Amino acid sequence: MHLKASLFSIAVSAVAAAWNVPPEYGLMPSSDGRFLRDINGQPFFWQADTAWLLFHRLNYTEAETYLSDRASKGFNMVLAVGFTQIGITSPNRNGDLPFVGKDVQQPNEPYWAYIDSIIELAWNKGIRICMVPAWGQYVHDSANNPSVLTTSTAPTFGHFIGQRYPYLPKTLVADTNPWWENKTAVKADYAAGGVPPTYEVVDWSPVYDALAMAIVAGEQDAIGSGTAWSPLLTIHPTNQWFNGGPLAFASAFLGDRSWLTLDSCQSGHTDFPPNPPIPWWNARRGWESIEQMYAAGAQQGARARPVLDNEAHYENRYDNGNSVNPWWNASDVRTGSWQAVFSGAAGLTYGADAVMQFVIPGLYAPDGSGPGDDWLADLVLPGSGQMQWVGKAIMDREDATYFRRVPAQDIITGDAGADDKRVTAMRDSAGSWIMVYTPTGKPFTIDTATLVSCNGTQANWFNPLDGTYRTFDFVCAGSNSVIMFTPPVEDGHIDWTLVLEVKS
């Protein structure tokens, strides 16, 4: 039966046999657990773009256009979904469904063979895919009704994903949390006012565990049991809608799991509490979640994991996805990314609103969350070209310092500012450099005492719009290491990154 089905699909679709993912694809945490490296031990700065429906809505030519653009802007990671949020009965651009007979235990070969071809295409352009095997709605819906991924079906599906896509980083079941109350009821009761009732909490983590453990086992089967390998694996949480539960961090839900090798959050697209007094993430304060996850990993007995914001405000998405509000612009997403990385993130996640959903005029209508109505127009938004300078500023320092960087908010003397006005500092823990990002253009003061030597320190302003340096005279102020810096004034932006580096 299986043999017949696959011979048939090869015959009709002429799709190449599944591409074998090479071991060089694999990424892993650095030795202290905080950052990422490749199999040769080289630094890997996660610069991700969001392309949820890449495998579903783009044909091969368009995927080539998309990936070439992202590669030219330094993106080395693309987030894309296997079994998408569009639905189990929705075919991809080629007309293929993800499964045979709506059974998640029976993958439809042509659908996944097409995914293979896009993963290979991306790899040939220097881009890895961070695979979301399935959207969260296939575990449970908003009102907590179960769906097709269960503790009995997830093992087969997970094993398929792991065996077919070893080495790919993966984030499980996007946009939901393992700890959930009936959100439909919570929102309705909140709107009605009064004292809310106590809601039943459903713990969906057994499905997450079943899926994750099957992926790990599937990868092991693909690679061979003699090779030690743990995939980069996390979850893609959503805002915490409910009182009393863990904060919406992967580690807060599942920190004791050995399969959880990356910590992540979603700071999202909203800058006001959607449902007070419930805990919420502020899109202007993505650095806060990063800081909290980073701190949690430093606690005694905890495991330090690389931390990432898996979904920060998308460029050209309305605040709260609502057209009564302005949309997030290049300056917003740029500031969020710099602040997150300097707060300890292992990289950044960018997204453009019409790109993540691949709006194609006449074919796929926009979801209304932003002003963009054509993915090709949103593909060239200015923010997408500015993300690469965050990684460059770090990679321009000596390789050895890549894994030594630490958040350094404590070197800022006086008020650092709040939210997306906050000045954020990072430094080499061995003292060879300090970097400070300011979103405001205003003078700020730092204590430079952590630099190993004042002598030979080179000072630059790094332009977050184009990655160029402006050297300026840096005068060591004798025994006083507390120094005020005033950013240059330039048209088009007010944000700058100060780079102080001791040249030996």
Region 190-219 residues binding ligand NAG, contact defined as CB under 6 A: none
**Do residues 38 and 44 touch, judged by C-beta distance below 8 A?**
yes
**Residue 241, SS3?**
coil
**Do residues 480 and 321 touch, judged by C-beta distance below 8 A?**
no
Region 465-504 residues binding ligand NAG, contact defined as CB under 6 A: none
Half-sphere exposure of 267 (CA within 13 A, CB side): 31
Q: Among the candidate windows 156-164, 272-280, 329-337, 347-355, which touches ligand NAG by CB under 6 A?
A: 329-337
Does the protein bind ligand NAG through residue 60 (CB under 6 A)?
yes
Distance of CA 266 to the CA centre of its chain: 8
Does the protein bind ligand NAG through residue 188 (CB under 6 A)?
yes
Q: How far is the CB of 402 from ligand NAG (least distance, A)?
A: 26
> 233 forms bridges with which residues in the sheet?
170
Does the protein bind ligand NAG through residue 182 (CB under 6 A)?
yes
Q: How far is the CB of 146 from ligand NAG (least distance, A)?
A: 9
The smaller minimum CB distance to ligand NAG, of residues 134 and 451, is found at 451
Among 150, 275, 282, 329, binds ligand NAG (CB under 6 A): 329
The smaller minimum CB distance to ligand NAG, of residues 121 and 217, is found at 121
Q: At 168, give phi and psi (nearest 5°).
A: -70, 135
Does the protein bind ligand NAG through residue 144 (CB under 6 A)?
yes
The site for ligand NAG, by CB under 6 A, has a size of 16
Q: How far is the CB of 436 from ligand NAG (least distance, A)?
A: 21
The smaller minimum CB distance to ligand NAG, of residues 60 and 472, is found at 60
Q: What share of the chain is helix, strand, coil (3-state, %, to 5)?
A: 30, 20, 50
Q: What angle do CA 115, 119, 123 make, to 5 degrees?
A: 170
Q: How far is the CB of 38 from ligand NAG (least distance, A)?
A: 32
Among 31, 59, 68, 322, binds ligand NAG (CB under 6 A): 59
Write the single-letter amino acid at 25: Y
CA separation for the pair 302, 432 (Å, rounded): 29
Distance of CA 185 to the CA centre of its chain: 30
- Surface-to-core class of residue 202, CB atoms within 10 Å of its CB (0-12 exposed, 13-18 middle, 19+ buried): middle
Does the protein bind ligand NAG through residue 332 (CB under 6 A)?
yes
**Residue whose token pair is 């990063």:** 290
**Do residues 255 and 293 touch, judged by C-beta distance below 8 A?**
no
Among 42, 184, 258, 486, binds ligand NAG (CB under 6 A): 184
Does the protein bind ligand NAG through residue 143 (CB under 6 A)?
yes
Q: Among the candidate windows 7-15, 53-61, 161-169, 244-252, which touches ligand NAG by CB under 6 A?
A: 53-61
Q: How far is the CB of 40 from ligand NAG (least distance, A)?
A: 35
Q: How far is the CB of 187 from ligand NAG (least distance, A)?
A: 9
**Residue whose token pair is 């460029």:** 315
Region 421-460 residues binding ligand NAG, contact defined as CB under 6 A: 453, 455
Among 40, 61, 479, 504, binds ligand NAG (CB under 6 A): 61
Q: Among the candidate windows 183-191, 216-224, 245-253, 338-346, which touches ligand NAG by CB under 6 A?
A: 183-191
CA separation for the pair 245, 243 (Å, rounded): 6
Does the protein bind ligand NAG through residue 62 (CB under 6 A)?
yes
The smaller minimum CB distance to ligand NAG, of residues 38 and 64, is found at 64
CA separation for the pair 355, 54 (Å, rounded): 9
**Do residues 230 and 261 touch, judged by C-beta distance below 8 A?**
yes
Q: How far is the CB of 454 from ligand NAG (least distance, A)?
A: 7
Write the single-letter amino acid at 140: H
**Do residues 210 and 158 touch, judged by C-beta distance below 8 A?**
yes
Which of the 8 DSSP states describes residue 227? S
Residue of 494, 456, 455 whose CA lies nearest to 478: 455
Region 334-353 residues binding ligand NAG, contact defined as CB under 6 A: none
Q: How far is the CB of 368 from ligand NAG (least distance, A)?
A: 20
Q: How far is the CB of 493 from ligand NAG (least distance, A)?
A: 8
Q: Among the candidate windows 55-63, 77-85, 233-241, 346-354, which touches ligand NAG by CB under 6 A?
A: 55-63
Among 137, 171, 251, 331, binds ligand NAG (CB under 6 A): 331
| Radius of gyration, CA atoms only, the chain | 23
CA separation for the pair 275, 414 (Å, rounded): 33
Q: How far is the CB of 318 from ligand NAG (least distance, A)?
A: 11
Element (DSSP H or E) covering residue 297: helix 286-298
Q: Contact residues for ligand NAG (CB under 6 A)?
A: 59-62, 143-145, 182, 184-185, 188, 329, 331-332, 453, 455
